[in-house]
Amino acid sequence: MPSHDVMPNMELYQPVQVEDALEIADRLAERGWLVGGGQDTYGWLKDRAKSVDALIDLSGIESLRGIRETADGVEIGALTTLTEIASSDVLKSSYSLLTDAASVVASPQIRNIGTLGGNVSQDVRCWYYRRGLSCYRAGGNLCYADTPQGMNREHALFDASRCVAAGASDTAPALVALDASMVIRNGGGERVVAAEDFFVGPANDIVNTTVLRPGDILTAVRIPNTWAGATFYWEKVADRNVWDFSLVNIAAAFRVSDGTITDSRIVAGAVQTTPRRLGNVEAAIRGQAKNLQTAESVMTMATEGARTLAHNGFKVPLMQNLVKRAIAA
């Protein structure tokens, strides 16, 4: 029986140019695993829940780091650390929704190493799946969490097609709310995908949580100035203030004129595999006063269509109250 105290044997590639990384990723295809900070990767491999023939360590590619102002917003390299994002004056001044989200990911030590690209690309946190059990997401024919005996306190309320795991990224809802775009390169060139379309749920793909496929590298995230300087609200509720993943989080951006909401983006995290944009709430509050009365009148709309499991029913009032707080703040 293999030891779980050491990493399994595998090849290691450490390119310093994007072009070299793309060539290696294309050549290895499914045999290779891209690594940024490695905070999600190394757990998978050490626990033997997943295995690959080779690691492609992207950390030496300096061109994938940094925050750059552009003519129509900002561009953030995919290898930019969460600490760099949380402390960026450029982002704080115009896109504080993202800095607030990045500042509460895991712990300071993990934020120092973890990257934006890794945070949005991480796999779901369901312990049945992570333990290596043959659930639907792992190619089996059962969801262990969605059973009367299942441990599902942290699992999804919405869009649970076979798999009820919830997404783990704190930065993902903020990027969707900011109307960000993801820049993806492969051997065939570059494509830009809206953040809202970058994440995929189990009804569309039971194996992957993003549109990234073998040979693809997420190189940057672009945030347009559409929501620059808007009124933002971010809140994360977790069992502990550090380390833990969200039970529910909310990322919201508002355009307000004379106390009236003219436009908004409200996105919840940890309630399904992908960030959940609350379009019905956005539509209901357009033209309404940004106050407690408006918030209370629409808060229950946030959870329309929710399907609770045996132990996650508390997420319904939690999500409703986070939406209320975001609108009333």
Of 79, 49, 73, the C-alpha closest to 61 is: 79
What's the start-to-end Cα distance of the chain, in Å?
Answer: 55
Reading the block at residue 329, the tokens are 């703040």
Reading the block at residue 16, the tokens are 């310093």
Cα angle for residues 242, 37, 266 (degrees, 5° grid) = 55
Single pTM value for the model = 0.96
Burial pattern 86-113, b for ≥16 Cβ within 10 A else e, equals: bebeebeebbbbbbbbbbbbbeeebbeb
What is the DSSP annotation of 101-113? HHTTSS-HHHHHH
CA-based radius of gyration for the chain: 20
Which segments of the chain are extended strands (E)? 11-13, 32-35, 54-57, 67-70, 73-77, 181-186, 189-194, 217-224, 231-237, 248-257, 260-269, 276-277
Reading the block at residue 168, the tokens are 């783990």
Reading the block at residue 145, the tokens are 């969490």
**Full pLDDT tens readout for the chain, 329 residues:** 454 567 788 999 999 999 999 999 999 999 999 999 988 888 788 777 788 999 999 999 999 999 999 999 999 999 999 999 999 999 999 999 999 999 999 999 999 999 999 999 999 989 999 988 999 999 999 999 999 899 999 999 999 999 999 999 999 999 999 999 999 999 999 999 999 999 999 999 999 999 999 999 999 999 999 999 999 999 999 999 888 999 999 999 999 999 999 999 999 999 999 999 999 999 999 999 999 999 999 999 999 999 999 999 999 999 999 999 999 99
Of 98, 116, 101, 150, the C-alpha closest to 40 is: 116
CA distance 166 to 318: 15
Which three-class secondary structure state does DSSP give residue 145? coil
Of 327, 155, 115, the C-alpha closest to 235 is: 327
